[in-house]
Amino acid sequence: MSKVIRTALFSLSAAALVAATACGGNNASPSGSTATSPAGSSEPAGSANTGKKVTISHAVGGDSPSRDVWMKAIGEAVGVELDIQVLPLEQMEQIYKVKAGTNDLPDLISYHPGARTRDDLQAKDKLIDLSDMPIVQNILDDIKPYYVEQDGKVYGVPGQALKFGGIAYNKKAFTEAGVSIPQSLDELFAVSEKLKAAGKVPLYLSAKDSWTLQIPGLAAFSYDQLQSPGILDKINTNQATFKDAAHFIEAFDTMKKMVDQGYVNSDYLSATYTNGLQAISEGKAGMYPVLTSAFSTILDTMPDLINDVGFFPWPVEGDKTVTVWPPMIYGIPQSSKNADAVKKYIEFFASSEGQKIYFDTLPAAGVPAYKGVELDESKLLDPVKEMIEVTKTAKQFATVDFSVVANMGAFGQTVQEILMGQKSGADLAAELSDILAKNAKAKGAPGF
């Protein structure tokens, strides 16, 4: 097949994929755009000669009024306008991959860090190296490996706060039941029994949004990394599999035991993430496995209840770990015509002033991803205080699905099967190992 025909085939097929992706819209917010209003006193970035403001295009998953506020404020400070395309949250990844494939990435990229940026967006060929930006030195050391490549190149820097995976709990419910934060799985069951006796749903599960079911296992995998050093590297080179991840497997079997013992809401197969957030905020439920980004949503929707909730990592006896979801990157495609303006935007975002705007607007966002950012302790919300405490006492590992050699896919449906008694945690581990091996082989990863 000649090169011309190949190119034509690819272009047409990519166009079909874009169309297919666009047509698969669902209940997420529709695409739309917002633009910042003209800046106040700031000098427009990269446009001093023309007097016209540069407009930076940006695409981001899910609607968020708070995000629009702080992005607008930072845009005004730097003197740029933002044209934000809101992507349906559950299709954000596919749309970004297609945009990368068709050289249609926005000026300012927001995407998952590490291997996901490297592979999905073909970072080496498509993104600008940001290693010369001074802010790279300020990225927290624990998460730096997800932003700085082995060859020193940087294709994206943190564009959010650190968030964690673990369990949100309702403090009032805990007080009412006379329990404290469990430190082991045995204690988790003991706490659940007391919460149940106090008339609470001990552990809320929202299987209708099946991604939420993945959180306990992903959170527990940190203990596998802590207790079996190098397990992730071995998985990535096909010398180990998820079948060797005992805590990962145990987390899902624990969820099933909780269901069997009546510690989970009876409508767990119908319950949604929104139901879960409401139940944990209002104290109808005692515990709910979440990512800490949930606290921003609670702050947006039920601000009066934000300090009633707290956070603790998945409880396993012994030394503690917590699973980090490294912040989404801010990156710039090589095709961007506004790279200088975008760099200024990113530089300001990562500065103390920019981070102040960010955390003032989103006080429940999490923990700063940059060194030297001081948060006003008097303004810290309770769940954020607890997150910061956790980072001081627990070793941090990035979530495995950002770190594995190939996409391991969503596995929430298989967790549903576990909860329904059709499969076990070991079955899930075997399935995931098989999927990962096939995807790694298709990708040409060494060792598979």
Partner 1 sequence: MHKLERKTYSISFAIPWLLIYGIFFVLPTLFSFYYAFTDWDLTSAKFSGFSNFVEMFNNPVFSTALANTAIFTILSIVLKVGVSLALAMALYHCIASNFFRTIFFSPYVLSYIAIGVLFTAIMHPEIGVLNKALRAIGLDFLALNWLIEKGQVIYSLVFIDVWKSAGFHLAIFIAALQTIPSDMMESASIDGAGPWKKFRYITFPMLASAFNANVIFALIVGLTKFDLVFVTTGGGPGYYSEVLKTLVYKQFAMGRYGLATAGELIIFVIVITLTVTMRKFLDKREVEV
Binding site for partner 1 (CB under 8 A): 8-10, 12-17, 19-20, 24-27, 93-94, 97-98, 100-101, 119-120, 122, 125, 207-208, 210, 266-267, 269-270, 407, 409-410, 413-414, 416-417, 420, 422, 431, 435, 438-439, 442-444
* Shortest distance in whole angstroms from residue 430 CB to partner 1: 11
d(CA 138, CA 370): 5
**What is the DSSP track for 346-357?**
HHHHHSHHHHHH
Q: How far is the CB of 206 from partner 1 (least distance, A)?
A: 12
Cβ–Cβ < 8 Å for 285, 200? yes
Least distance in Å: CB of 15 to partner 1? 6
Q: Which is nearer to partner 1, 6 or 379 (CB)?
A: 6
Nearer to partner 1, 98 or 188 (CB): 98
Residues 6+ apart with CB under 8 A from 391: 162, 322, 367
Closest to partner 1 by CB, 380 or 410: 410
Question: From the CB of 407, what's the least distance to partner 1, in Å?
Answer: 5
CA-CA distance, 226 to 231, in Å (whole number)? Answer: 9
* Residues 6 or more apart in contact with residue 388 via CB below 8 angstroms: 367, 380
Instruction: State the minimum distance, in angstroms, from the CB of residue 269 to partner 1.
Output: 4
Q: Which is nearer to partner 1, 248 or 411 (CB)?
A: 411
Name the packing angle between helices 246-260 and 425-443 (round to 10°). Answer: 140
Q: In angstroms, what is the minimal distance from the CB of 2 to partner 1?
A: 13
Residue placing its CB nearer to partner 1 in the complex, 67 or 208: 208
CB of 59 to partner 1, least distance (A): 17
Angle between helices 412-419 and 425-443 (to 10 degrees): 160
Burial per residue of 133-160, b for 16 or more beta-carbon CB atoms within 10 angstroms, e otherwise: bebbebbbebbeebbbbeeeebbbbbbb
Asked whether the beta carbons of 315 and 187 are under 8 A apart, the reply is yes
Q: Where would I find the beta strands (DSSP E) of 112-162?
A: 157-158
Residue 31 or residue 439: which is nearer to partner 1 going by CB? 439
Distance CA 89, CA 86 (A): 8
Closer residue to partner 1 (CB): 275 or 292: 275
Least separation in angstroms between residue 201's CB and partner 1 is 13
Give buried/exposed letters for 19-29 (b at 16+ CB in 10 A, else e): eebeeeeeebe
Which lies closer to partner 1 via its Cβ, residue 74 or residue 432? 432
